[in-house]
Amino acid sequence: MIKETCLSDKKGTIPKGDLVFDISGLGKGRQPISSLAPSRVLLEDWNKDLIRWKEYVERYFQQLYQDQKARSHLEEIISLSMERDVWLVGLEKDYPCQRFLLKQIIEKVLYERKVIASMEDYSEQYRKFKNMTKSQAIKMKKSGLSPIPTPRLPE
């Protein structure tokens, strides 16, 4: 099964023995720490408010599609999640974050392969954020007007 959490919740959320894929972005050396992490340029454009979420999503999906290593890594995660719990870890606590995009892709494949009976629906979150820049999304969340909370596992 595919699951997700953020870096700040990682320690108390993920059971020992589960697989973890950190797709949070750039490591200390300013290099991608995973082939599934967004490119440095994409992250910079998002962090500098040069693009809206819609463009981020389009460019991120294009990045995944064009990178053979990313596609192989994605297929590996899909295969592993058919056998055990696999966690995608991102930086942001809630949507928008690329881990939700990857989770959506993985769940779609698992659903089509009849491994899972249903998929998480992020279409409402996407619709609310698609025309926002990062700072606009942060402002919305801080104001308490955050659309639809991200589903969390019961504690």
> Model confidence over 62-100: pLDDT tens digits?
999 999 999 999 999 999 999 999 999 988 889 999 999
Q: Are 46 and 56 in contact (CB under 8 A)?
A: yes
Q: Which residues contact 27 (CB under 8 A, 6 or more apart)?
A: 33
Alpha-helix residue ranges (DSSP H) falling in 67-117: 68-81, 98-112
Cα–Cα distance for residue pair 13/6, rounded to 1 Å: 9
pLDDT at 121: 94
How much is the pTM?
0.84
5 beta partners: 89
| Spatial distance between the Cα atoms of 122 and 46, rounded to a whole number of angstroms | 20
Strand positions, DSSP E, 12-62: 19-22
State the pLDDT confidence band at 33, using cuts at 50, 70 and 90: low
pLDDT digits (tens, 9 = 90+) for 14-25: 999 899 988 887
Q: What is the pLDDT of residues 109-126, one digit of tens each?
A: 999 999 999 999 999 999
Hey, what are 16's tokens? 């020992």
Query: Do 10 and 20 form a contact (C-beta atoms < 8 A)?
Result: yes
Q: Residue 148: pLDDT above 80? A: no
